[in-house]
Amino acid sequence: MTHTHQEQTAMPVPDDTLFTDVQIFDGTGRDPFPGEVLVTGNRVAVVAGHVPAGRRAGARVVDGAGATLIPGLVDAHAHLGFGSTIEHRSPRRDEPDEEKALLVAHAGRVLLDSGITSAYSGGNRLPRTEIAARKAFGEGWMPGPRLRAASWEGSAGMVAPGVYDFPGVEHRASDPESIRRFVGQMADLGVDIVKLSLSGESAVVAGTSRIVQFTEEEVAVAAEVARDRGIWLTAHAHAAESIKMAVRHGIRAVYHCTFADEEALDLLEAARDRIFVAPTPGIVYANLYESGAEPEEGMEVEPTASAIKEVVPELVRRGVRVLPGGDYGFPWNPVGRNTRDLRLFVEWFGFTPAEALRAATLYGGQIMGMAGELGLIREGYLADLVLVDGDPLDDIGILQDRDRLVAIMKDGRFHKAPTGRTTHAQIFEGA
């Protein structure tokens, strides 16, 4: 699919930057290796054991002092509009639209502070605001990640955004024309992604996660319009039948996959070269341990956790690309904790730290539709880089400590410059 909403970099890029004495985790999953990385403009120009003198002349030199250089991280299920970050908690979610727009911008900056340089949206109640944020982040005059903007989450009967009662399809007529209008209207706005809630959500409306919310005919129409308009579809899908429906109709990204049965797993495996799965362990963990209240009957918090701990390793065994992105943005699961997903990939799903990082970098570039230029430290790739104090392959949890992120670079520019740390002396030549 040819994507139609590529970012444009309008602001001037800085002088060349040379990272020296770094351990390079290039995103492929192989072991880090010592070397140097030269950034020219907004691209990686050289990855080598030692950059030749002729290439380094005049470059700004950052002495990594043995720190680990990784590609910028990608969140595959980001919510910028839920309102809560580690710096600001908003339990209301009924703020005026103007305030919600500011919260979107704020959440984007907090994501970037966390080393997340790209985000694939999981939905926003204000798609126009998300489209505006995509432009501002892309042009560089507002701090935030590269962004794929999404619609609000279409639910059964296409009720207004933010109204989720998840009634199912048994007691309503199929309405493909409402779906056609919805997807077309979102495409007209300029979103990259339309999200459909193919199942309910028991954590929101008890007992609905296993209830299918769309008819086969409705999903087929959504897929048809998305193909015609050159946009992507994402499915919220807990129920086994909703997962199957998503795969059958070519939906590109499937969230949760919680109660996948054998048939659903077989379909996902057959589609592994074109599909992405984000199981969202972050919100499951938060619902279990950090919500501050006992789960109500029917919320299925513990069954959901048990199910994804079984489903995800099986998906990985079958070669399905599983990516981090945990529904962050709720008051009990705020934006800024997103890299906890990487630890949960290791502790819950049996990933090695290298595999978890590969999912957040190499696979992240792929879900962003930018394979071949995003997600690796490789010559010609975009210079989205994070310098980490320590070895995340030894302890993936250090990525949750923002103080350990010595430098954050997006598009060749420092969002966080490597200054003021005695453990990492910086040498600047020709500045």
**pTM (2 d.p.):** 0.92
pLDDT in tens, 80-95: 999 999 999 988 777 8
Q: How far apart are CA 300 and CA 311, in angstroms?
A: 16
Is the alpha carbon torsion for 359, 131, 133, 3 positive or negative? positive
Q: How far apart are CA 419 and CA 60, in angstroms?
A: 13
pLDDT, residue 353, reads 98
**Other residues' Cβ atoms within 10 Å of the Cβ of residue 259:** 22
Q: Which residue is listed with tokens 């320590």?
A: 390
pLDDT category of residue 160 using cuts at 50, 70 and 90: low
Question: Can you read off the two tokens belonging to residue 84?
Answer: 């809560």
CATH number of 17-71+375-416: 2.30.40.10
Give the list of residues 6+ apart from residue 160 with CB closer than 8 angstroms, or none.
none
180 neighbors 225 (Cβ within 8 angstroms): yes
Least confident of 150-154, 190-194, 337-341, 394-398: 150-154
Q: Which residue has the higher pLDDT, 369 or 206?
A: 369
Domain layout of the chain by residue ranges: 17-71+375-416, 73-367
Q: Does residue 430 register a pLDDT over 90? A: no
Q: What is the largest CA-CA distance in the chain?
A: 72
CATH fold of 73-367 reads TIM Barrel (3.20.20)
- Which neighbouring-strand residues pair with 18? 38, 61
pLDDT, residue 431, reads 35
Give the list of residues 6+ apart from residue 183 with CB closer than 8 angstroms, or none.
154, 194, 221, 222, 225, 226, 229, 231
pLDDT, residue 91, reads 81
382 neighbors 43 (Cβ within 8 angstroms): yes
Q: How far apart are CA 106 and CA 87, in angstroms?
A: 9
Q: How far apart are CA 57 and CA 256, in angstroms?
A: 49
pLDDT in tens, 212-262: 999 999 999 999 999 999 999 999 999 999 999 999 999 999 999 999 999
pLDDT, residue 157, reads 60
pLDDT category of residue 41 using cuts at 50, 70 and 90: very high
Average pLDDT of span 261-268: 98
pLDDT, residue 145, reads 98
Q: How far apart are CA 76 and CA 374, in angstroms?
A: 14
